[in-house]
Structure 1
């Protein structure tokens, strides 16, 4: 029986394949399939004894779901105090206080807390939408920060990831396929060499709506692998067997 303290409007969501439970408040922001697939896609380096940083962690979903795959520590970096506090209670709920912690800070100033060049793996599910003259942002501030590049954009995110990582450390990100040109440009300029790409499709026969990317700091150019696609839903709007196994199957690190 999981015991946790929920505030009004909150709920506890779980992922049985990882035995992880996360506190969420739909009135602020809730994680979705992109966060789960990013945590699944990310591959620990060796036995995963190094530091992992989840940049823009929100409710902590990506870092918490990734934590069972490794033995090292995880730092959740989140600018919004309400979400950071929610993440901290999720850490306690999952009895991960010895390995997972929250840093409530703007990631642009994270180097006061995390030493440059000390991180083995960086994870990020960043805001997808750039700001321009025609951008219509959400009235709710929590959603604005989660969806739109208000405090961080792709080039700056790539710069921060590069500075955090050790040489040959890995950066994992989920984003939108229409931003691929921006992603490749931002990563290449900051010596983050893309090595694996996997597209996610809502349903078979449709355009991809997500892309998962792995890059290595100071890696050798070339050698990009395009993995088989992930199809999320059947025509009847049920999870495909592929996604059902990710959500409800064996523990990922077995």
Structure 2
């Protein structure tokens, strides 16, 4: 492999999806099942345009590129190192014509409003409130997990700015923030349409939620069947194995 593609502190991970491999840091934030769940939850129609906010390593755009017929995907990420790494993954997989990553702050509304309106926005935002036990606000993992660089309202406001009329927003978050999510979606006229609860296993309460919202949509909310990540013996369920292509 060309030394420009992979650095000493990085790994190359096979997504088992049309030969796509993604570059990640060995000791920094790495994608988890939440990103895989969101990418599989999003309904991407033929030739749809997509923006992925809080893009991180770019995992969601790469899964969407492998599983859908989206025509163009833009990832927005505030951490320059992550953006550079994601763009190297693009080159490695020859996906430059379909995906690009931009190092920008989603709170930069002048930039956000300069983007083309898209059919779909996906976002796996920081889950934890800024004051919930952060030790080092400069830590890259803390930035990914805590609302240091953006709040939930910042995220939903940005979704509103880039969505076409009737475009869809797909988000994964935590159940304890559901009231906040729905209130803010309605504030910005993104109507909640479908909610899916994710359980660690069928004996445990949900620890993640997937939510689908429609820009300027009419009021009608449905609940999808819950999904369990693990069987009681700790193995992945059939639904999760299918998502991973196993």
TM-score after normalising by structure 2? 0.93
SS of 1:211's partner is: strand
Structure 1 residue 71: deviation in Å?
3.3
Conservation of the 8 A alpha-carbon contact between 1:4 and 1:93: no
C-alpha distance in 1 between matches for 2:161 and 2:113: 10
* Equivalent residues, number: 244
CA-atom RMSD in angstroms: 2.0
Match of 1:183 among 178, 181, 184: 181
Task: Give the match for residue 241 of structure 1.
Answer: 238
TM-score after normalising by structure 1? 0.90
Conservation of the 8 A alpha-carbon contact between 1:55 and 1:107: yes
C-alpha distance in 2 between matches for 1:38 and 1:18: 19
Q: Structure 1 residue 10 and structure 2 residue 7: aligned?
A: no
Structure 1 residues 75 and 181: alpha-carbon distance in aligned structure 2, compared to 1, 3 A threshold: same
Conservation of the 8 A alpha-carbon contact between 1:23 and 1:59: yes
Conservation of the 8 A alpha-carbon contact between 1:78 and 1:84: yes
Task: Give the match for residue 163 of structure 1.
Answer: 161
Conservation of the 8 A alpha-carbon contact between 1:60 and 1:87: yes
Residues 46-195 of structure 1 mapped to structure 2, 5 A cutoff: 47=46, 49-68=47-66, 69-109=68-108, 111-112=110-111, 115=114, 118-132=117-131, 135-139=132-136, 141-195=139-193
Task: Give the match for residue 252 of structure 1.
Answer: none
C-alpha distance in 2 between matches for 1:96 and 1:87: 11
SS of 1:233's partner is: coil
Structure 1 residue 2: deviation in Å?
11
C-alpha distance in 1 between matches for 2:172 and 2:117: 23
Structure 2 unmatched ranges of 5 or more = none
